[in-house]
Amino acid sequence: MAIGRGAIPFGHDDASRFLPWMLAFMVYLAALAVAGLFILADVTDKFDRGIENTLTIQIPVSESVLSDDRKVAAVLARLRRTLGIERADALGRSEVSDLLRPWLGATAASDQLPLPRVIDVTVDRSKGFRAQNVRDALEPIVPGIVIDDHGAWLGDFLRAVRGAEMMAIAVVFLICLITVIMVIFTTRTGLGLHRETIEIMHFVGARDSYVARQFALRFSLMGLKGALIGIALAVPSLLLLSVIAKNSGIGLIPDFDLTTVAWISIGATVPASSLIAMMTARATVIKSLTQMV
């Protein structure tokens, strides 16, 4: 007696009809988590390259513009003679307004707002630069001067971002684990529903490996179907988040422009879902049939 490819009537298996939808939800979450990983990595890279070796010096504004100009000139002259200072430039009012816009909005550009004079400094920490030395040198020149060493708080910020990255990775692994559990449960249910058919197949000479291939192919297709649904929902969601971030007017929100590698990684969740479903179903069938003998 020949055994055809459709020897197991999966079409009557109601238990597996919900699996593609559950897998779609898992893939949707996984795609968002993978996108989050790349966004966080991009934020880390930008901050690490952009402000690690910089500091900002703020000179409180006074009633006299001429006096403020003299203070700025004196501070610049002292900075350029300080060990470890590579560059020191005073920012214009428009540049200071741009820096404050993420917090103050349109108010930052108001002429009525007293903005401090700001000096942007690039340093070389390998030459023994210390922010405290700069503070001690400038305090006698301008009492109340504010020195913000970006490198000092960058470490804490990067640790927080890397913690978020680890959480995103944990979410992806958790999603994979939940997917495996769902496939195992559904496969065992299917084995129970088709027990008589499998016994007949064994009687006519079918091996466990053949039965396992039948289930593996079935669950592979369901995994692919669910993944395509999930990715079809995830892509518009990510594009919508990108539009919202660009039009928010808040500079603190990270960019949602994903690279080609990021999109490829997100798309890889589709074959990954199908592969996980196939391998899990096959292993579950082999193990279950071995225990039934």
pLDDT tens digit sequence for 185-208: 988 888 887 777 777 777 777 787
* N-to-C CA span, the chain: 22
Q: How many residues does the chain have?
A: 293
| Domain locations along the chain | 12-48+164-292, 61-144
Structure tokens at 226: 């669910």
DSSP 1: -
* Type of residue numbered 100: L
Residue 124 makes CB contacts below 8 A (sequence gap 6+) with: 53, 84, 85, 86
Instruction: Give one DSSP letter per residue of 98-129, joined into a string.
Output: HHHHHHHGGGGG-TTS-PPEEEEEEE-GGGT-
Structure tokens at 96: 């200071």
pLDDT tens digit sequence for 150-195: 766 777 777 888 888 899 999 999 999 999 999 999 888 888 877 7
Model pTM score: 0.71
What pLDDT score was predicted for residue 251? Answer: 52
